[in-house]
Structure 1
Amino acid sequence: MSDLQARFDQAQIDVKQLSERPSNMSLLRLYALFKQGSEGDAHGDKPGMTDFVGRYKFEAWEALRGTAREQAMEQYIALVEELRSGAAS
């Protein structure tokens, strides 16, 4: 397992142990970066207009199209570290 993958996996554990719930925007960013880092570019059908949460999540992931998986993993790790230190909310 690569060092980056190990750090990405640890960040997934760390994010679940945050003392405070992140803001909705931070949660959306975490979701999109996680999906891009683990699956690559968005695929599948965009959720319908009545599925607001699903649609926002898909659009956030879709906005990262073309971002390298490794870059998304690094950004996810950095965001989790910011949240752990209290720099972001």
Structure 2
Amino acid sequence: MSLEDKFKKACQQLRDFTKRPPEADLLELYALYKQANEGDVNKPKPNDAESKKKWDAWSGKKGINKDAAKQAYVNKINSIAGTYT
């Protein structure tokens, strides 16, 4: 299975979770997803608190190439899937 296929499968697994993971895990997944799809953060830091958390998480992944971010996303999903499905 290609990395792209594994990534798509992991994205679907997240949508299929029956329990909500903690905010820290969701922010990590958000940041990896954005890095995998868009690369380094490319928007100015927002003003509202929730958006700032997401922006900070994504900004923390700066410099990670898209394939490495996809693999990290897959690994994260695999590590928590048993707890939330």
Structure with greater helix share of residues: 2
1:5 and 1:18 mapped to 2: Cα distance? Answer: 20
**Structure 1: gaps spanning 5 or more residues:** none
Count of matched residue pairs: 84
Q: Which residue identity does 2:60 align to in structure 1? A: A
Could you say which residue in structure 2 is the equivalent of 1:23? 22
Contact 1:18 1:83 in 2 (8 A): no
SS state of the match for residue 16, structure 2? coil
Could you say which residue in structure 2 is the equivalent of 1:77? 74
Shift of 1:44: 1.2
The reply to whether residue 46 of structure 1 matches residue 45 of structure 2 is yes
2:53 and 2:11 mapped to 1: Cα distance? Answer: 21
Moved over 2 A (4+): none
Could you say which residue in structure 1 is the equivalent of 2:13? 14
SS state of the match for residue 16, structure 1? helix
Q: Which residue identity does 2:51 align to in structure 1? A: G
Scaled by the length of structure 2, the TM-score of the pair is 0.92
**Structure 2: gaps spanning 5 or more residues:** none
The reply to whether residue 64 of structure 1 matches residue 61 of structure 2 is yes
Shift of 1:74: 0.4
